[in-house]
Structure 1
Amino acid sequence: MRRPPPLVLAGAMLLMLSSALAAQPACEAQKFTTQPSGPAKGQAVRDAAGLGAALENAKGGETFILAPGNYGGLSLGKTYNATVTIRSANPAAPACFSDLRLKGAGNVTFDGVVFDYSYSPGEKDFANRFSILQSRNITISGSLFDGDHNRTVGHGRGLRIRDSASITVTGSVFRKWWKALTGGKNTNLTIRGNEFYDIRSDGMTLGVTDGLMIAANRLHNFRGAPGRDHRDMLQITRSSNQRSTNIVIRDNVFDMGAGDYSQTIWMGGDGKNLGDPMLRHQNVLIENNVIYNAHTHGISVHAIDGLSIRRNSLIRVHRAEKGNVTIPRINVSRGSTSVVIEQNATSGIIGYHNQRDWVILNNAIIQDTSPGAGGFYDRQFIYYATGATHGYHEYGVRPGSLIARLNAGSTLVEKYPTRR
């Protein structure tokens, strides 16, 4: 279905596309629930026209409480003096947007709303309805980015963030996408406490970022299109021939579950000249993550100056294919500098060849292929949940195991079982 052009509100850096003007299937006849982070207190807004007027007249500091309904598309290029909050009145019937275009916007928060994409036949994989461009101080919390299926697999890009600063995405859900969250050329980007599932290709693909925090997210049950896509749960690229700096990846759970295997944390060389200082990532901490997957690239990183990989658990779960390619490992390119790899639970560490500025300490080497050899899984773990049976994995650490003696692996496994 061809979508009509947006309605321009004169005299303001604001474009509104009301649900009446845009007869779109998105946001219609759908049941959603969100989790706003704040109370439903503020100026009541009943429809898209009301929201357009409210945003045009806002100075800063206002909170707009949106009645249930389809608000169509929102395009905003206005910077407010203080944060303007757009929040759903009812989490069980949240306000829904079919497009979001923030360009040159500042000091805006979306809380407990739905961003809903509906696939139209013929649209490319990279179709994108929701973007933050050249903007500052934007927060999206407790919201849902709901993609759509092209036949049986996810389609389109979820949220795109580019050329922006101080952007936070927290407590939100991304599902049914080709690629869920992408972006580049950002400063101080925080992705915290979100859930990603039913993703066809990449959960997060980000590049050229200074100050990136990826923390306490759960990525699980990706579903690929056979022969069409390469999957990474988290990928940091050298797009635009530039590096990223000051990256923290902490306290995340990456779980193949009952879905398809993928690479987990990947920072590849991207075919670049890694001798160029401006192409070498700097100051990267990968800490306290749990990985349940079936691909050798568990944590695989290239050309990093200042790298710490600490207290991660890399656990192999099974897929139809067999062999070493299915066993997650820590892989670090030899040319990385100032490297610390300590207290991880993993099947192996690739890349260390007595480099003077590398420290490899107290890692528990574990395996599930030889019951008679050291580190065998049955002597390391308590199996609270397995993907084939439960749809997710939870492996607790056995008292007295090698992992316990070395105090290795993620502390997140100490909380198992979490579901009863």
Structure 2
Amino acid sequence: MLKVRSKFVVVIAAAVGGPLLIACNDAQTKPAPAAQEVAEAPKAKTVTVKTTQELFTALMTARGGDTYLLAPGQYSALGLRGAKYGGSGVTIKSADPKNRVTMAGIELADCSGLSFEDIEVTINQRTQTALNVNACSGVRLSSLDVHGPPGAQNGGLLFRNSTNVIVNDTDFHDLGTAVRNVDSNYVTISGSRFRDIRGDGVQTTGTSNITITGNHFTDFHTAPGDHPDAIQFFTVNQKAEVHDIMITDNVIVRGKGDITQGIFMGNEADLAYVDVTISGNKVVGAMWNGIAIGKGRNLSITNNIVQGYVDQSSWIMAEGAVNAVISNNRSTDYVDKDNKSAKFKDNKRLKLGKVGDVSALELPPLPQEN
């Protein structure tokens, strides 16, 4: 029978919207005693709770397969360390998806087997970020509404050193950078919506086996000196190449906001992005770099649409790519198309669109040519 070890630290839940104190194993605090190993129950249970403290107490004896329903209301921040569940994991969600609870931040460290669904998550006053996920595995975030106050510059979701993380069908808005993932593995960000962002929509460094698919980005609001991207990868302070990157079927449109770059993969440390697929994306009204990758190996850029506006052209660029296929795209411009290490074929040019024109989003895929 599968056994699950659950370890927690002491949590002091503050007033709604206030800071959360997490007693962790460092020089200033003492760790709480570990819970005894418990076998996964043959029958999962569903429990309704009304406060963060009730939820935390209930999770002390949770087993894989259990579901915790949050009664409507305002919840203080939740912090968990060492909460590990086997089987199908533990699900925490609003009891009524049409009347979602509001939780003032979520912090997870060294946790596994946790799903959060149908929750409005606001800024944790302690971390100034809505969600922090560190050294975790098997975490799923679905149908969340993640935001700060109007015009906020706080972070939305930060996860680092984590594996098997799924973000699905989630709204990110009124944030600085919506999602930051650092030094992680097997990450999926799908079917989510990004608006009213000041910085980057999805920012990635040091992460392999990542899929970013079916998301919508629009209405970014920047300040002078900002360098915003809907989807950004960078290699600053990295020592190794990342690999297996899928960026597909995303829509990036200027909307009523400021101009941003589309999909930008910078190469500050002279490290290649390896085994990269960029396909089916639609980028309308972006900056110069509609789709740009600084250094790619085993790269496929296919069936994308990149249309600049009359006030700003936009292009597809794969500078210095090795073993690359760039085909069946529509774009107002192409850079490095004479690269002998890239197969450049069946691409079409688009005229610059009028500011605000989104008709390019409706263009059908180009037919494949032999």
Aligned to 1:175: 173
Aligned to 1:112: 118
Aligned 8 A contact 2:124 2:130 in 1: no
1:98 counterpart = 2:104: yes
> 1:407 aligned to 357, 363, 367, which one?
367
Aligned 8 A contact 1:136 1:164 in 2: yes
The one-character-per-residue Cα deviations of 1:337-383 (angstroms, maximum 9, x if unpaired) are 0010000000122113251x311111111223xxxxxxxx69xxxxx
1:395 counterpart = 2:369: no
The 5 Å alignment of 1:17-56 reads 17-18=12-13, 21-24=14-17, 42-56=46-60
Q: Give 3-state SS (helix, strand or coil) of 2:176's partner.
A: strand
Q: Please report how far the alpha carbon of residue 42 of structure 1 lies from its aligned counterpart in structure 2 after TM superposition.
A: 2.6
> 2:303 aligned to 291, 300, 311, which one?
311
Aligned to 2:132: 131
State the one-letter code of the partner of 1:234: I
> 1:59 aligned to 63, 88, 91, which one?
63
Q: Please report how far the alpha carbon of residue 14 of structure 1 lies from its aligned counterpart in structure 2 after TM superposition.
A: 4.1
Alignment partners' CA distance in 2, 1:114 and 1:166: 22
> 2:314 aligned to 328, 338, 342, which one?
328
1:367 counterpart = 2:351: yes
> 2:72 aligned to 44, 65, 68, which one?
68
State the one-letter code of the partner of 1:65: L
Alignment partners' CA distance in 1, 2:261 and 2:129: 24
The 5 Å alignment of 1:149-168 reads 149=150, 153-168=151-166
Structure with the larger helix share: 1
Aligned 8 A contact 1:307 1:337 in 2: yes
State the one-letter code of the partner of 2:157: L
Aligned to 2:93: 87
Aligned 8 A contact 2:253 2:286 in 1: no
> 2:184 aligned to 177, 183, 186, which one?
186
Q: Give 3-state SS (helix, strand or coil) of 2:57's partner.
A: helix
> 1:13 aligned to 5, 8, 13, which one?
8
Alignment partners' CA distance in 1, 2:335 and 2:189: 28
The one-character-per-residue Cα deviations of 1:119-164 (angstroms, maximum 9, x if unpaired) are 8xxx9xx932421100000000011101224xxx331111001000
Q: Please report how far the alpha carbon of residue 49 of structure 1 lies from its aligned counterpart in structure 2 after TM superposition.
A: 2.0
Q: Please report how far the alpha carbon of residue 331 of structure 1 lies from its aligned counterpart in structure 2 after TM superposition.
A: 1.1
TM-score norm. by structure 2 comes to 0.84
TM-score norm. by structure 1 comes to 0.75
Alignment partners' CA distance in 1, 2:257 and 2:347: 29
Q: Give 3-state SS (helix, strand or coil) of 1:233's partner.
A: strand
Number of equivalenced pairs: 335
Aligned 8 A contact 1:15 1:74 in 2: no
Aligned 8 A contact 1:263 1:298 in 2: yes
Gaps of 5+ in 1: 1-10, 27-40, 369-376, 379-385, 409-420
Alignment partners' CA distance in 2, 1:176 and 1:85: 27
Gaps of 5+ in 2: 1-5, 20-44
Larger mean CA deviation between 194-203 and 233-242 belongs to: 233-242
The 5 Å alignment of 1:338-357 reads 338-355=323-340, 357=341
Aligned 8 A contact 2:18 2:76 in 1: no
Q: Please report how far the alpha carbon of residue 75 of structure 1 lies from its aligned counterpart in structure 2 after TM superposition.
A: 1.0
Alignment partners' CA distance in 2, 1:363 and 1:308: 13
> 2:283 aligned to 288, 291, 297, which one?
291
Alignment partners' CA distance in 2, 1:312 and 1:52: 46
Q: Give 3-state SS (helix, strand or coil) of 1:52's partner.
A: helix
Aligned alpha-carbon RMSD (Å): 2.4
Structure 1 residues 293 and 71: alpha-carbon distance in aligned structure 2, compared to 1, 3 A threshold: same
Q: Please report how far the alpha carbon of residue 245 of structure 1 lies from its aligned counterpart in structure 2 after TM superposition.
A: 0.8
Alignment partners' CA distance in 2, 1:256 and 1:17: 43
Q: Please report how far the alpha carbon of residue 17 of structure 1 lies from its aligned counterpart in structure 2 after TM superposition.
A: 4.4
Sequence identity of aligned pairs in percent? 25
Aligned 8 A contact 1:139 1:168 in 2: yes
Aligned 8 A contact 2:7 2:84 in 1: no
1:213 counterpart = 2:200: no
